[in-house]
Structure 1
């Protein structure tokens, strides 16, 4: 009897977007998968260069993570590979532990980082922390993205001038210095190719958004090298791309401790970006996005993908928008994209080796410029100065101290705002009725604010001399702790010492169940001082004071 139930649960867990699949959806999913692939494959290859990694790493990231997310993820149209934010944080993390400088083969360290990100997300899923991570505000994300956009854009400028090294992982200031150093030796042919690629990408994005601009630019760059010999004019090409799948390697444990802060930042941004994209493209009537399910799917995509030399992965907005715009109905479209990436790796590696570095740099530059959202800062200033300063400080820290400190500062600033809001007293005192003072606690009670609430109730009682009882509504006490209950017991004693009786009202069943484990609350119920509603607590007769 139990076996069918277990099997049913497994079926419900795997490929949730394919349940109830209709044959008429197949054509739309195939077209969407091919359309998204035309954008995401060249884009992911370009993002690999942000971290000074071979372009095939970006290509591999379009395979396994997409299939794993399709098996477990809840968004019908989200396309999962890497993003500019995550690629930049990956570059920063690898540089911070010395991988870029000390290692001839960064792939084992990349695998360890991606595996660490996946494990962090899976642990967060076990602890059901999806909703907790969502407390990180849009202002924090905007600040990080502005820092990422400016840092990556500055890091690509030397490549657009003919410099071969990428500086994004070294921060915004070092990238600007590299631009100044590269100017005297700028290669004219590279500059012209870069400018033409940027113009094509901007024009296509602005006036023909359904056309895969990245694919056009990549194909044009390859054809230019193959037919014109522009390489002889000093245009640098990417490193040769190996044919086939990644060779087996094991993750390196050498820098795990040093990479942990970066892995935490990447995990946070992976969930936030995935959740934002999934909710942003969700259509009315589709299943609501479950943050804990997204933790599982994104965590598994990273953990399993790490064994295949992938970058940390998350939902990307641009390819997901293309996927949805082309009519994707389910995650079958992502599986089609992954198959296309496999075919590219098997058949087109020699062709990809003709790709100019400047073409990929132009693709990255145009993609990340959109992250510098000054309009969002203006909106924050107009609506919420707190959000404005969180976003601004996060962006400034990202541009000066680095992106990992920026994520930390943004998260801490958001938590401070959340805690300040939770700690704000919401004690509402009503008019005294027959010697009973009604008080509503309209905010949650927890360890950090219960003493302040107790003092507020005692002050309200002191401001109403002659009262014989305080009726305290605790409708928000669904969950409680020993600290909270002990403080309420202390409030009872303090009021009793002044001849005032404490009555509790509207205590939720969950909170009352925990509170009954204390002798104080059990005694309160025995004395009939716990009431279903505040009105009943106020109307009940007051016992005469004991002599």
Structure 2
């Protein structure tokens, strides 16, 4: 926490070992130290954490932070909601004094419902009372020190009423000592490397997602490469004190933001309190009922679930709404990292679909109006220049979308039956070889239908490709125009000029 506080780009992100990272770490260490020897586990943990930190620092040096750019706002919305539901379900059994074996979100729900009749009544009273008080205070006065008051009250009740003797689970004994320096064992590196790669990816993904999820408009932007460096250094530094691999924690950060945390001073305070707890407050904190702690986490995780954001996304873009749902369902079905990966894959598929089906606008203007603009099917036919069909494709034309573009253009030509088809290529920033060949073939097919193809507003790179293909020479100087208006004026002049008069081309590309 201390290292991240000075290096990280998020103002409120709380960096510690998250539930998912802890589970992955435990599984990896069990393979390396199957006998569970504590001294071996400490060394293996230090090595594993140092290796994770080193991998993150290497990724930062390679500028791999761009991976975080694939996490869009709708994906974050679904991710936050999924994480909120997972955290709440994880805490519910503790709220009622139950213990269930983790088997996946939906199976855990069934297990919780099945075991609910066996709940500890006194534990449920403690947990639900804390939950009610926290919710009430948060509703009346948001961002108040209510969690601290609840913790103090729960500890007092636990001590005075002897809740531990009555079957209420408490935090338990916390050793009063600072961690000693532990050196990694280089001989374990190759054994731990595969797992460290997975945990490093998990750490960065959770950090980037949580950092962006809890950022507000007044916060500086999250810088992915700096985050890679910050959490890499945090892991590497923490390794020498026996710390587990760490990343941005969603539940901890939710509490920090909910109680009004604004800067990384919150992390420094947390670290200071942790040191004080180790040295002084450990016996007191050990009396805290698990149910009260669960109530705090549940209340501040509810803020992650915002149905209004889903509605807003749905009102604007159905595709992005599907991305949000994919992130939500992915987290619930597969877990945090896998959920983000699923959402990113869905996002990329959606973007690929958009690239494979680019928009093609019909361009026109009302009679007497000088402004050329995209028109819709609902616009009056006056908006179309008689005998001239102007089409404006958007995006990159390449092998995956060229057939769809050609089919759409053919349909529009058959529908409107123009004399001249003028392609406005101002929104086409690149044209791949397959697309260029399709344009050349389309010119021949259009000529067979009595339609002449013109090109206008070519970007410099596209113009170079057209020239290199030899198509510019075939079109000549009378069918390529520097500006769209030049092409329109040339068409209008050709209509107004007598048939016997030679046609004078307007401004064009040479």
TM-score, shorter chain, exceeding 0.5: yes
Structure 2 counterpart of 1:357: 290
The answer for the alignment partner of 2:342 in structure 1 is: 409
> Could you tell me how far apart the structure 2 residues matched to 1:443 and 1:177 are?
51
| Alignment of structure 1 residues 204-219 onto 2, 5 Å | 204-219=137-152
The structural deviation recorded for 1:235 is: 3.0
CA contact (8 A) 2:2 2:267 kept: no
Gapped regions of structure 2 (runs ≥ 5): 365-383, 495-501, 504-510
User: 1 CA distance for matches of 2:231 and 2:309?
Assistant: 30
Aligned to 1:90: 21
Offset from partner CA, 1:404-443 (integer Å, 9 cap, x none) = 5543433333333333344444223346869754221244
Partners in 1 of 2:194 and 2:114 — Cα distance?
35
Whether the 8 Å CA contact 2:3–2:230 is kept in 1: the answer is: yes
Whole-angstrom distance in 2 between the partners of 1:385 and 1:433: 34
User: TM-score, with normalisation over the residues of structure 1?
Assistant: 0.66
Q: How far did residue 80 of structure 1 move? A: 1.5
Instruction: Describe the shift of the 1:382–1:486 C-alpha distance in structure 2 as closer, same or farther (beyond 3 A).
Output: closer
Shift of 1:258: 5.7
Is the alpha carbon distance of 1:217 and 1:375 closer, same or farther for their aligned partners in structure 2, counting shifts above 3 Å?
A: same
Does residue 491 in structure 1 map to residue 439 in structure 2? Answer: yes
Determine whether 1:455 maps to 2:389.
no
Q: Is 2:174 aligned against 1:235?
A: no
Match for 2:114 among 164, 177, 180? 180
Distance in 2 separating the partners of 1:162 and 1:306: 34
Runs (4+) of structure 1 moved beyond 6 Å?
Answer: 95-98, 100-103, 431-435, 541-544
Q: CA deviation digits over 1:151-202, x for unaligned, max 9?
A: 3323323323334x57567544135415634743x44443333233223322
The answer to whether the aligner puts 1:534 opposite 2:472 as a matched pair is no
Unaligned runs of 5+ in 1: 1-61
The answer to whether the 8 Å contact 2:203/2:246 transfers is no
In 2, Cα distance between the equivalents of 1:464 and 1:230?
A: 82
* Residue 150 of structure 1 pairs with residue 85 of structure 2: yes
Q: 2: CA distance between counterparts of 1:103 and 1:203?
A: 48
Q: Which has the higher contact order (CA 8 A, sep 6+)?
A: 1
The correspondence of residues 233-272 of structure 1 with structure 2, limited to 5 A, is: 233-242=166-175, 243-245=177-179, 247-248=181-182, 250=184, 254=191, 257=194, 264=201, 267-272=204-209
Relative to structure 1, the CA distance from residue 236 to residue 497 in structure 2 (aligned partners, 3 Å threshold; closer, same or farther) is: closer
Q: Deviations over 1:372-407 (max 9, x none)?
A: 444555566666655555545654554455555543
- Going from structure 1 to structure 2, the CA distance change for 1:301 and 1:92 (only over 3 Å counts) comes to same
Question: In the TM superposition, what is the alpha-carbon distance from 1:304 to its structure 2 partner?
Answer: 1.6
Q: CA deviation at 1:530?
A: 4.6
Taking the TM superposition and a 5 Å limit, the aligned residue runs for 1:143-542 are 143-163=78-98, 167=101, 170-174=104-108, 176-178=110-112, 180-181=114-115, 183-184=117-118, 186-242=119-175, 243-245=177-179, 247-248=181-182, 250=184, 254=191, 257=194, 264=201, 267-278=204-215, 280-282=216-218, 289=221, 294-307=223-236, 308=238, 309=243, 310-313=245-248, 316-320=253-257, 322-323=259-260, 328=262, 335=268, 338-339=271-272, 341-345=274-278, 347-377=280-310, 386=319, 390-392=323-325, 394-396=327-329, 398-400=331-333, 402-430=335-363, 437-461=389-413, 467=419, 469-478=420-429, 480=430, 484-496=432-444, 498-499=446-447, 502-509=453-460, 511-512=461-462, 515=465, 518-520=468-470, 523=473, 527=477, 530-540=480-490
Cα separation, partners in 2 of 1:513 and 1:497, compared to 1, 3 Å: closer
SS in 2 for 1:448: coil
Q: 1:368 deviation in Å?
A: 2.5
State whether residues 154 and 176 of structure 1, in contact with CA within 8 Å, keep that contact through their aligned partners in structure 2.
Answer: no
Is the 1:489–1:520 contact (alpha carbons within 8 Å) kept by the matching residues of 2? no
Count of aligned positions = 453
TM-score (norm 2): 0.71
**Deviation of 1:495 (Å):** 0.4
For residues 115 and 269 of structure 2, the distance between their equivalents in structure 1, rounded to whole angstroms, comes to 44
Deviates more, 1:89-98 or 1:411-420: 89-98
| Higher Cα Rg, which structure | 2
Change in 2 beyond 3 A, CA 1:92/1:390: farther
203-212 or 515-524, which deviates more: 515-524
CA deviations on 1:448-482 (whole Å, 9 max, x unpaired) are 32332233334444556673x5432122233x36x
Task: State how far apart, in whole Å, the 2-side matches of 1:218 and 1:366 are.
Answer: 14
Does 2:5 correspond to 1:66? yes
Q: CA RMSD in A?
A: 4.4
